[in-house]
Structure 1
Amino acid sequence: MNNDHSTLLRALHDGHAQALWRYALRLTGNKELAEDVVQEALLRAWCNPDILEQGTAASRAWIYAVARNFAIDECRSARARWEIGSASPPERPRSDHTDTTLDTWLIADALSQLKPEHRVVIVRAYYRSESIAELAEALGVPPGTVKSRLHYGLRALRLALEENGVTGR
């Protein structure tokens, strides 16, 4: 759009937006919908620059007709018939622990399928946040053995989860 069209659209907006909003408000009875009607009418004027060049009276008549038609379409739409407005926001969803419970159950089941030496390092490393050094000291094995058990234990855990229908990401 060149500067002439921008100037014409600005003049159309400045000269008619407030009156167009009052007209749309009378048609719809809803402030927010009236704002949407004005915005849509101006958007359509912007998309049809030939209308802007027809002069103020023709542009005004066209934009009011667009506003009227859009308001009627919106009021007849399924959204208008089934949507219920509310002055207050909807209630907050309550925390549902179902997913967490199911995840915990699946992991516990998969952990039970591991060798005890793999299970103990996974549980202590991930659930108790123990370091490799702490695990090595507590279990009386070298840190390399702890790392190896973690590696193979996690691999076995992944396979057990996959066998139970849990897919990897």
Structure 2
Amino acid sequence: MADDDAERLAALYDAHAAPVWRYVVHLTGDRAGADDVVQETLLRAWRTPRILAQDPATTRSWMFTVARHLVVDDVRSARRRREVVVDDVPERAQADATETLFEAILIEEALATLSAEHRAVVIRAYYGGLTVAEMAGELEIPEGTVKSRLHYGLRALRLAFQEKGVTR
């Protein structure tokens, strides 16, 4: 009996797969999706004994109806409503850099208010990551002078930020 069903299913495929596929492509415009619908339609025919028992030439309308129902069910499905098909993969979301840019502008403006000597020490300490001894060697000044310039430079920066309304 299984060989007989396989032969009937093969006859159904030969007789109806191409017309059903063209019908589904006409409905959806999706060639790959049409293959899936035709496969599901034939699977349902195979699971329906009365269809396999009929002459393959008489079942085309049943197969068109099943294919149409499958297309409608897919369109109404929650998966289809939530998925958006795009040609290109979207870029990864990036954090908004506005706050960082704003802070950089504030810092640049505050550093511009310092004298060149104070600014040189503050920039080397905080952006260059240098120690007091390294800054003293690089600037060719005593370590005590570096400490003093760093102290007064940071104090002037704090006042510049307060004048701009920065409280943290």
Q: TM-score, normalised by structure 1?
A: 0.49
